[in-house]
Structure 1
């Protein structure tokens, strides 16, 4: 049985096939052109561009791997900062990333440390849209490092001050609330550190200062050691600094005792220094006018030559007062008392000029058969004897002294052998007892 297809259906199929295949080459060209146009449009509206990020910091990963081995990690050649990182991506992605470096992630994983322990590869990515970024390239491919043994030391903190206090004031005690610092880091750097300082500025102050002072480290040549790569258990400390008023005061001293027989003290005493500068709270030092050294410190008893003694006047400072600058003055004063042997000479006393003292009531005194002059030997320091005017020496006879020396309570008429006492200046005395006869007789009524 034969089935006949209607003429109309056959014609339609042939017509559609003809339409599809007709001008096929032209249609393919049109398709390619359309694709190119689409690509051009896309690139015009969202082209691939580059963005450069400068001075990007490298984040070090797994740094504890180094510490667990008892080592330290030092980044060298400033390689932890990448000069430029260039990102290539569609403009919309670049715009999303922005110009901030926050979205640029640069890392160096210490697990990938090179076998010679000097470099670690640098890896770059972005924090978002990583799958749409065509490329990201750093200007440096490696982090340069130095691995070194870790060392820890402990040093006392030296407190210093800088600047100038007001005139008439000085810096007093400097009291830190912590006096030690612990320093850890690479052995070569830690071994350079010899001193730890904390400085407090004092310019213009006239009273107590309480301040936070940063700790700075110095080497043997007093060169500053940077704190980079070092760990300190404390980086600054609280410090109290006294600011004290100053005042110049004289030193007062006295001499006690008697030199050995035949010697005398000249009265001259050297004191070095004679004036000292003291310091303290202004209200305290305002009432201090002198520093007194007691006589016990300058006792010439039994001396046959000059007495030199060194006295620490800090033992005699009032409470709350101190020596202003113990760097230039230790507080020790040198005292020197001059001792010389006595010289002697003979002087003449005119008997007619003798003065009677203490004559008993109702009596009168007169010399008995004496010569006109009496010679008396006197002793004293040579310098005093040379100044003595021998022409003006007057002799005296004192009955009160006679009664005391001879245990007499009441005088009677009679003749007494009395000692002539020449009137001499201080420091000169008679060396011998010269007597003369004196008659006491009752007054005639």
Structure 2
């Protein structure tokens, strides 16, 4: 039995060793095919500037003109390289080793998100190798603080003017950078607010194109500021248009059209409660003989401490100017209604036999003009027997007017 086992082990030893060797080689080949060496490009890795204080101690400031980020080519096993991103690397540049051209080499390594074993299997090649800086004397300037709000306050409310404290801050840094900075900006979220807002928020520098200026070498006198924003209730009121002056001779104002006819206003409670309308009183029709169109800025028409709460900034006004004419109609005294008579007296119009009434209006309105539409009448209230001069009254309108005064003689006697 023992001899049989020995035979199984030692018979054809060479072939068995060859089989083991071939199996190992095959395993090695398969493993290398599955985890082959590949390369991958990774972009925009931020470069950390080291020892910049060396420049600051010498009275200067620096601005990175090239090399704020670095792109690299990574080579290594597929299992390691495929999942790599910019966040797996740390790039640095030592500003204490600047060349005569103010350049220094970028060094890129993996960070602690990659194990040391995997890190050793990688070859990292920067595609842009240098950081270049300009060195200038430090400059400073004051810039205004602007408050930007996001979101919408609760319905029926509106924001007053934001008040930042401080409203100006000082920025320091290279002149080449400061020349592009126009303001500091603070952002406040006002979503669903219905009470006055007071918050401490961070501020950032903004250039002339509205972009954030994010530079390590720019310092602000205040990194955070206090922002106070009043929150008011709103109110919808009508707009009233009043014209000033008179159109050219022979013309008149027929219609005044404007949009919008109402606006939403806001302000302090007591001030807001006193406002019932917004009047626009600066539409001049002096010597006009044709339609006048104008856009009126609402801000110029608001009372103190009152603000527009919607998007309306202007009122579009159109004043129709049309030709007017004067027409003469004949009025017989018998057509004049006599009112407030005393039942104990008799009344008779003795003169004149007829009246020529001059009516002024727009041509279209004159088409339906009649004595009945003018409703002529006179009051004899409290008049005693005798002869009296009594004024005739008429129904007038904005479009039909009677400028002259007309009287008749009435004789009153006892019955």
User: TM-score interval w.r.t. the shorter chain?
Assistant: 0.5 to 0.7
Partner of 2:332: 349
Partner of 2:307: 322
Residue pairs, 1:269-418, within 5 angstroms: 269-280=256-267, 283-284=269-270, 287=273, 290-291=276-277, 293=279, 320-325=305-310, 328-330=312-314, 334=317, 336=319, 341-349=324-332, 351=334, 364-366=346-348, 374=354, 376-382=356-362, 383-390=364-371
How far, CA to CA, are the matches of 1:73 and 1:256 in structure 2? 61
Partner of 2:198: 210
Q: Deviations over 1:159-212 (max 9, x none)?
A: 212233333433321111112333333444444434432212222322222222
How far, CA to CA, are the matches of 1:361 and 1:241 in structure 2? 74
Deviation at 1:264, TM superposition (A): 6.9
Distance 1:381 1:108, change over 3 A: closer
8 A contact 2:373–2:395 mirrored in 1: no
Distance 1:183 1:375, change over 3 A: closer
Partner of 2:232: 244
Structure 1's unaligned 5+ residue stretches are 1-56, 80-105, 123-138, 404-409
How far, CA to CA, are the matches of 2:197 and 2:169 in structure 1? 22
Partner of 1:158: 146
How far, CA to CA, are the matches of 1:66 and 1:257 in structure 2? 70
How far, CA to CA, are the matches of 2:180 and 2:100 in structure 1? 28
Residue pairs, 1:52-91, within 5 angstroms: 60=51, 63-64=53-54, 67-72=57-62
How far, CA to CA, are the matches of 2:130 and 2:245 in structure 1? 86
Distance 1:442 1:158, change over 3 A: closer
How far, CA to CA, are the matches of 1:161 and 1:388 in structure 2? 60
- Of the three residues 158, 163, 172, the one matched with 1:175 is 163
419-428 or 177-186: bigger deviation: 419-428
Structure 2's unaligned 5+ residue stretches are 1-47, 70-91, 108-123
8 A contact 1:311–1:335 mirrored in 2: no
Distance 1:313 1:333, change over 3 A: farther
Deviation at 1:329, TM superposition (A): 0.7
How far, CA to CA, are the matches of 1:348 and 1:237 in structure 2? 80
Q: Deviations over 1:228-252 (max 9, x none)?
A: 2322222221211233333322124
8 A contact 2:249–2:287 mirrored in 1: no
Distance 1:173 1:198, change over 3 A: same
Q: Deviations over 1:286-322 (max 9, x none)?
A: 846731539x86899x988689798776677566532
8 A contact 1:171–1:244 mirrored in 2: yes
What SS does structure 1 have at the residue aligned with 2:332? strand
8 A contact 1:349–1:422 mirrored in 2: no
8 A contact 2:266–2:306 mirrored in 1: yes
How far, CA to CA, are the matches of 1:339 and 1:313 in structure 2? 27
- Structure 1 length-normalised TM: 0.52
Deviation at 1:216, TM superposition (A): 1.8
8 A contact 2:49–2:95 mirrored in 1: no
How far, CA to CA, are the matches of 2:349 and 2:131 in structure 1? 121
Larger radius of gyration between Structure 1 and Structure 2: 1
